[in-house]
Amino acid sequence: MKKLQNILCIGAGYVGGPTMAMIAKKCPGRKVTVVDINAARIAAWKSDSLPFYEPGLREVVRDTIGKNLFFSTDIKSAVAEADVVFVAVNTPTKTFGQGAGRAADLQYWEKTAREIQDWATHDLVVVEKSTLPVRTATAMKRVLESGGSPYRFEVLSNPEFLAEGTAIADLENPDRVLVGSAETPEGLAAREAVVDIYAEWVPRDRILTTNVWSSELSKLAANAFLAQRISSVNALSELCEKTGADVTEVARAIGCDSRIGPKFLKAGVGFGGSCFKKDILNLVYLCESQGLGEAAAYWNSVVEMNAHQETRFVAGMLRAMFNTVAGKRVALLGYAFKADTSDTRETPAKVVADLLAEERADLVVCDPHALDNARVELAPHGDSVTFESDPYRAVAGADAVAVLTDWRQFAALDWRRVFDSMRKPAFLFDGRNCLDHKALFDIGFHVFAVGKAPMSHFD
């Protein structure tokens, strides 16, 4: 197979945009085009203010755009020119019909396959970048080759493992790149050609090749395992609060076992982000549809535990604040689903804000990069939620502060100044265990941290 010189990606989102920018940077000899139906998003990629905040992304785009990286809405000419098409359109959880609430909504993906078929002018390698149910590649091949198309389409799976906030480092130095293909001569040749793209900067021994189904399932499995570790440590956090054990100490103790390892053992208000919940529900649905009830229930419990962690965090706030927050000013520090991103999809902060608003708290939301999204998502609460980019103004006069995103700037606040500006008693709820609780207690706060005994001046 000839070198995949013209690379196209359909979908300029959190996955497609950064991944293609990195390929352009590392493969100066190839041309990379990213198309999207969203013209505003494409315009943002071409401007100084990218569609979302991601550390280091601006520099990579600046160095490549107009040289070998191009953004466009013209899918027709882009497909006609391409040697390989990566598909990174969204595959959200279905909200209607069979499998609603669990199965992946594949309408955008199928629409994209039909567009590729419509505009192809020669044989094409098509690569699934989006996370998809196992065996989607077969369905994609059927759509692509339906209606007597004169061209051959080889469908591969190459899931993306980057995490938001560290996308550039993850892309530059990935733990592994996974490329799955059919194990036919044509499939293996296409696989080698895709491997060659990554081999321009990733050591060969980190590029894994598998059959296409293993690749599709590995992406769901990786996210399910990561989320399962968080739900496990969060389940322990509740027990710690009841028994006087400290979840950070427990996590450190178990994480020192090289078989367990230290990562993804941080207890908190719950996991968010566009992937974990969606991908686990997708796995649950796949298990169910294969008649694997026990396996489905096992994975579903990871999501249930996460929902419980979010609601019990608010229940703990209420309990601490004499069972009422009505009319009290509560400052929420952080709204993004994690630090170093403006992304708020499935953020636990929204659940916390919704529940506190239902309790008629007077909320002020503060985040360095996610306030635009917060304004839209919390608009239904009207005047009971306000937005403030300056943390000191957000906390002034507050009865309580809840830290919901582990932005470094929150840990670095002058907490004495925060305390002095609050109404007393001053409550501090650390939903990310990112503050110095002993120091805060000594200042005078009543401190409630996930998985730790409360530190209250009342008893």
Q: List active site positions.
A: 275
Q: Which stretch binds ligand UDX (CB under 6 A): 129-137, 358-366, 367-375, 449-457?
A: 129-137
- Between strands 69-72 and 31-35, the pairing is parallel
Which residue in the set 8, 31, 36, 410 belongs to the binding site for ligand UDX (CB under 6 A)? 36
Q: How far is the C-alpha of 77 from the C-alpha of 244, rounded, in Å?
A: 64
Residue 84, phi then psi, degrees to nearest 5: -145, 140
**By CB under 6 A, which span of 144-152, 206-214, 222-230, 349-357 interacts with ligand UDX?**
222-230
Say how far apart CA 353 and CA 341 lie, in whole Å.
19
Minimum distance of ligand UDX from residue 202's CB (angstroms): 16
The answer to whether residue 155 forms part of the interface with ligand UDX (CB under 6 A) is no
Decide if 458 contacts 446 (C-beta within 8 A): yes
Is 451 among the residues that bind ligand UDX (CB under 6 A)?
A: no
- Closest residue to ligand UDX, judged by C-beta, is 13
Residues 364-393 touching ligand UDX, rule: CB under 6 A, are none
Closest CB to ligand UDX among residues 136, 328: 136
Mask for 237-266, x = binds ligand UDX (CB under 6 A): ---------------------------xxx
Q: Does 137 bind ligand UDX (CB under 6 A)?
A: no
> Which residues lie closer than 8 Å to 409 by C-beta, 6 or more apart?
368, 391
Q: What does the angle CA 128 – CA 339 – CA 349 come to, to the nearest 5 degrees?
A: 95
Considering the complex, state which of residue 33 and residue 112 has its C-beta at the smaller distance from ligand UDX.
Answer: 112
Q: How many residues make contact with ligand UDX (CB under 6 A)?
A: 41
The DSSP call for residue 204 is: G
Q: At 375, which amino acid appears?
A: R
- For residue 231, the number of C-alpha atoms closer than 13 Å in the C-beta half-sphere is 21
Q: Does 38 bind ligand UDX (CB under 6 A)?
A: yes
Least Å distance, CB 444 to ligand UDX, is 28
C-alpha dihedral, 33 to 36 to 39 to 40, nearest 10°? -100
Q: In this structure, what token pair is assigned to residue 280?
A: 């686990």
- The answer to whether the beta carbons of residues 100 and 94 sit under 8 Å apart is yes
CB 334 within 8 A of CB 447: no
Taking the complex as a whole, how short is the minimal distance between the CB of residue 47 and ligand UDX, in angstroms?
15
CB of 420 to ligand UDX, least distance (A): 30
Which stretches of the chain bind ligand UDX, using CB under 6 A?
10-16, 36-38, 41, 88-91, 108, 111-112, 129-131, 160-164, 223, 226, 230, 264-266, 268, 271-276, 337-338
